[in-house]
Structure 1
């Protein structure tokens, strides 16, 4: 039996009011029970894509399609989106210290989300909050629920943020750099939690710079560059046999765990283009060592084998 298609983003474009295009036509797919890692340099559009799914970019003009369980999210009225946000689609934000309100306790904020989407009493909501914090491995969860964000360590704040995201059992969980600045022990615990969530049937979109995290926690990976997806596919296929020159360069820059240590790691020359100065052809061409005349025309994201898509003239039919 085929897995349920949870998220289908096709040709998503995002423009500033002055017409500057931030996303150039992002296409992604995610099934229930899968974890999609979205990787790329800073400014590639990873978080913008996630925020577009959440409907958290007022003032920006979106076009294309974002289908969530068959429902179109692009230009969905905010009143309707509020019913989905937090209940069916939830997000772990990059910095829980700024994502939580500093003047309210952790528990009060999780309680509020539960009561917003479910008809339960304050007591029932608090019991659910404490249960969630306990599942996240927070010591003395009843006391932790009474604490303010600044009174918790970074690792505990991150767990509380995950608890809040899971409070209404969402079908889609978006995690934006959930392990940044955490020690390796806490990082491993959070990745285990994300894997359990996926195994329970939810879909997970994991935004990260860390290919090691992708290898551990994801079933599929999408590589973004300058507002576009340039390669995607099953995680083992992409990491073991990268096709796009940008993906190859990213993986080559990772220090090897065994074998001889190189005196100098490979780097990608140049800088990513800014949205107002994006090349008309292949967006990676100015930094690519395989550039050719055909790169003057932007290659589409094309399926070259089952489950593998790449946007590069090297693989044109």
Structure 2
């Protein structure tokens, strides 16, 4: 693990108790000062990857390795996880309404996280909470801290969740679809904030299905399909010349910003296979326009050029 590597997943495999694989051989790296975008359709395994990193899937069987700041996380005890979550790494969940406890105020929940990890008084914790809410652009942050989750709009709840995630200055921030269901103005503000966090030297893992968000926010991207990583590389290189047919199809489905408007956007035929019905060979083969006989064998991640990896027989040596 390099000196700048903050988080490293190596051959992570996640399966249900009965043996159905949800994630297969996932290897990813998040470096300090970088943002890794994890992209794919709904059900591809993006959120499962994030929650595995946070140790939030105790009922599933995990193997391989998840190392954070050089420390192996798989097999850690609950008390060790409690010390790590919030302080070393934090997560912005997709749905802020279900992530906050409905019977406690927003401020009380942020205060509690601060006091759990740092030796500060209640008054000091509340002062920091109010400052964080103000930094997130929450109007009248002192009053907002005393409100319950249902009393805030979706955008304000999302900002409050980001404030909680940042309350103890974590080295790694995982953001799972942080702009879902928000208006475009709030989306832009949250993405700008993620860029500021990245530029401050923290590591960011951004879970999204939006390639445009990745282009705006991330330095590197990993494309996930049906529980497997099919392409990785620097964002600029992947956007300019995607290698995997799935990545190509995702980019082709983005509406053009200029030129004539198409009558219909390209779509990817079919749908991802369920984990229990995953093909033996290339998982994307049933939907791929370039499918050929040797796609019946599962392709390994290759490095056709420096810094880029792709799992496709088109790039086999």
Quickly name the TM-score band, shorter chain normalised. Answer: over 0.9
The aligned residue for residue 72 of structure 1 is: 72
CA-CA distance at 1:290 after TM superposition: 0.8
User: Scaled by the length of structure 2, what TM-score is found?
Assistant: 0.98
- Whether the 8 Å CA contact 1:107–1:126 is kept in 2: the answer is yes
CA-CA distance at 1:262 after TM superposition: 1.6
CA-CA distance at 1:204 after TM superposition: 0.4
| Consecutive unaligned residues in structure 1, runs of 5 or more | none
Whole-angstrom CA distance in 2 between matches of 1:129 and 1:203 = 22
CA-CA distance at 1:3 after TM superposition: 6.4
Matches within 5 A, 1:34-183: 34-183=34-183
> Residue by residue, what CA displacement relative to the aligned partner does 1:255-278 show, whole Å, maximum 9, x if unpaired?
111112221221111110000000
- Whether the 8 Å CA contact 1:62–1:75 is kept in 2: the answer is no
- Whether the 8 Å CA contact 1:12–1:23 is kept in 2: the answer is yes
Q: Secondary structure at the match of 1:58?
A: coil
> Residue by residue, what CA displacement relative to the aligned partner does 1:34-61 show, whole Å, maximum 9, x if unpaired?
0111110111000000000000001100
Range with greater deviation from structure 2 (279-288 or 46-55): 279-288
Whole-angstrom CA distance in 1 between matches of 2:213 and 2:139 = 25
- Whether the 8 Å CA contact 1:155–1:186 is kept in 2: the answer is yes
| Consecutive unaligned residues in structure 2, runs of 5 or more | none
The aligned residue for residue 26 of structure 1 is: 26
The aligned residue for residue 299 of structure 2 is: 299
Q: Secondary structure at the match of 2:165?
A: helix
The aligned residue for residue 210 of structure 2 is: 210
Matches within 5 A, 1:192-271: 192-271=192-271
Whole-angstrom CA distance in 1 between matches of 2:265 and 2:182 = 25
- Whether the 8 Å CA contact 1:3–1:32 is kept in 2: the answer is no
The aligned residue for residue 187 of structure 1 is: 187
Pairing 1:309–2:283 present: no
Pairing 1:288–2:288 present: yes
> Residue by residue, what CA displacement relative to the aligned partner does 1:205-250 show, whole Å, maximum 9, x if unpaired?
0011111111111111110000011001111111111000000011
- Whether the 8 Å CA contact 1:94–1:178 is kept in 2: the answer is yes
Range with greater deviation from structure 2 (247-256 or 257-266): 257-266
CA-CA distance at 1:133 after TM superposition: 0.7
Whole-angstrom CA distance in 1 between matches of 2:7 and 2:70 = 8
Range with greater deviation from structure 2 (2-11 or 81-90): 2-11
The total of aligned residue pairs comes to 316
Q: Secondary structure at the match of 1:230?
A: strand
